[in-house]
C-alpha cells in the first residue's frame, strides 16, 4: 500500500483540507440497513421517492457505488455560527431559515474539500459522496468514530456537537478502521419532548424520525399542500427546522465554523419582505443556497403559514395579496393564514 494511503496520513490530509472530523470505516454492509429497510416499509419517508425507489437497494452496500471499495474516509465539517438558536428568538415578524442553509450550499464546499484530498492520493480507485449519493452516511460516520446517532437522528460528536456536514470518499484500498463512537444520549429526551409536531417516535430499534410529521419535511421536501392539522405547529419556520438540535445539551458549547462560505447571508428575514418577492427575486436571493430546494411556490406557501402563526394582524394585507395568487397551493395557504389572524 502506498505510504500516502495509510489511514493516519489520509485523515491528516482531510484535516488539512478543512474537515474538523475524519475517520475510516470498512466498506461493508451495516446492520443499519435492516433499520432503514423497515423505516421505508413503514412509510416513514413520506413522499421522498429518492429514498424509496430503486436507490433504496443501493444503500444496502457501498460497493454498489464503487465495486472495488474496501474502505470509506468519512469526514465532518462544522457549519455552526455564533447566532442565537431558534428556541431563544422572540420576534414574530421574522421567519426562520434552518442554520445549515444560511450560507452557500454545503454540497459544493464539502465536495471541493474531498476533491483536494483525492488529488493527493494515487494508485487507488475512489468515489466521492456528499449527501445525494445512496449511502447510509450517518451509519458509516458512526462506525468511523465521528460520533453517535442521537435520539434526534443527527450525528453528534462529543466535542463539536451536531452542527456538522458529512461527506465520504469510497476507496479501493483496505485501511485500518476506527472504533465506533459510544452512544452518550443516556436518558435525555429533550429533543423528543421539544419537537412541536411529535416527529421523533419510538420504533422497533429505537427512536426514529417520522418524516411525515417533520417541519423540515413540510417546508423543504413536501411539494403541494401541507395538511391543515400540522400548520399551526410549524411556527415561524419557512425553511427547515433546528429545534431538536437547538435543545440538545451537546450543542450548548458547540464548535463554531471557520469556513467563510458558511457565513450567514440570511437567518431570520422579515416575513413581509419574503411575501413580496417575485420568482426572479427568489432565484437571485437564494442562488447557490440550499433554500432553492424549496422552490418559489413552496417557499411562499411556507411564508404564508408562518404569517398565519404570527398572530400579527398587520400581515393581513400581504396575505390577501398571496391569496390572489394564480397558484392554488399558495392561495390556499394564504387563505388559511388569514383565518388564523381573523
Nearest to 202 by CA among 151, 256, 249: 151
Q: Out of 37, 61, 105, 131, which one is annotated catalytic?
A: 131
The C-alpha atoms of residue 267 and residue 101 are separated, in whole angstroms, by 8
**What DSSP character marks residue 207?**
E
How many angstroms separate the Cα of 219 from the Cα of each of 26, 125, 203, 286? 35, 38, 24, 15
E-state strands within the chain:
21-26, 71-78, 96-97, 126-129, 148-149, 155-156, 164-171, 200-203, 206-209, 237-239
Element (H, E) at 271: helix 271-275
The C-alpha atoms of residue 305 and residue 307 are separated, in whole angstroms, by 5
Asked if 271 and 94 touch (Cβ cutoff 8 Å), the reply is yes
Enter the C-alpha cell of residue 137: 452516511
* Burial class for 280, CB neighbours closer than 10 Å (0-12, 13-18, 19+): exposed
Enter the C-alpha cell of residue 53: 425507489
193 is catalytic: no
Enter the C-alpha cell of residue 240: 427547515
**What DSSP character marks residue 111?**
H
Which residues are catalytic, by number? 131
Amino acid at each position: 500500500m502506498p505510504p500516502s494511503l495509510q489511514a493516519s496520513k489520509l485523515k491528516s490530509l482531510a484535516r488539512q483540507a478543512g474537515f474538523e472530523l475524519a475517520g475510516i470505516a470498512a466498506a461493508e454492509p451495516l446492520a443499519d440497513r435492516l433499520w432503514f429497510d423497515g423505516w421505508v416499509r413503514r412509510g416513514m419517508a413520506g413522499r421522498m421517492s429518492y429514498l424509496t425507489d430503486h436507490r433504496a437497494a443501493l444503500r444496502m452496500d457501498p460497493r454498489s457505488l464503487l465495486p472495488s471499495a474496501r474502505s470509506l474516509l468519512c469526514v465532518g465539517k462544522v457549519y455552526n455560527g455564533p447566532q442565537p438558536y431558534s428556541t431563544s428568538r422572540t420576534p414574530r415578524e421574522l421567519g426562520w431559515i434552518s442554520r445549515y442553509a444560511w450560507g452557500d450550499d454545503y454540497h459544493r464546499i464539502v465536495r471541493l474539500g474531498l476533491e483536494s484530498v483525492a488529488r493527493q492520493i494515487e494508485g487507488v480507485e475512489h468515489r466521492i459522496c456528499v449527501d445525494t449519493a445512496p449511502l447510509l452516511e450517518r451509519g458509516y460516520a458512526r462506525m468511523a468514530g465521528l460520533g453517535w446517532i442521537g435520539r434526534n437522528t443527527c450525528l453528534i460528536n462529543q466535542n463539536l456537537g451536531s452542527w456538522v456536514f458529512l461527506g465520504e470518499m469510497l476507496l479501493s484500498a483496505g485501511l485500518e478502521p476506527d472504533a465506533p463512537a459510544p452512544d452518550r444520549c443516556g436518558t435525555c429526551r429533550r429533543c423528543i419532548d421539544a419537537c412541536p409536531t411529535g416527529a421523533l417516535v419510538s420504533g422497533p430499534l429505537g427512536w426514529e424520525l417520522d418524516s411525515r410529521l417533520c417541519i423540515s419535511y413540510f417546508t423543504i421536501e413536501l411539494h403541494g399542500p401541507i395538511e391543515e392539522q400540522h400548520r399551526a405547529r410549524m411556527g415561524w419556520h419557512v425553511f427547515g427546522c433546528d429545534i431538536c438540535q437547538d435543545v440538545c445539551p451537546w450543542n450548548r458549547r458547540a464548535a463554531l465554523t471557520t469556513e467563510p462560505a458558511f457565513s450567514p447571508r440570511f437567518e431570520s428575514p422579515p416575513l413581509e419582505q419574503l411575501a413580496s418577492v417575485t420568482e426572479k427575486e427568489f432565484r437571485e436571493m437564494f442562488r447557490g443556497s440550499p433554500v432553492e430546494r424549496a422552490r418559489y411556490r413552496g417557499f411562499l406557501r411556507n411564508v404564508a403559514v408562518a404569517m398565519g402563526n404570527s398572530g400579527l394582524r398587520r400581515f393581513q394585507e400581504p396575505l390577501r395579496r398571496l391569496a390572489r395568487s394564480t397558484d392554488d397551493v399558495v392561495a390556499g395557504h394564504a387563505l388559511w393564514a388569514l383565518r388564523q389572524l381573523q
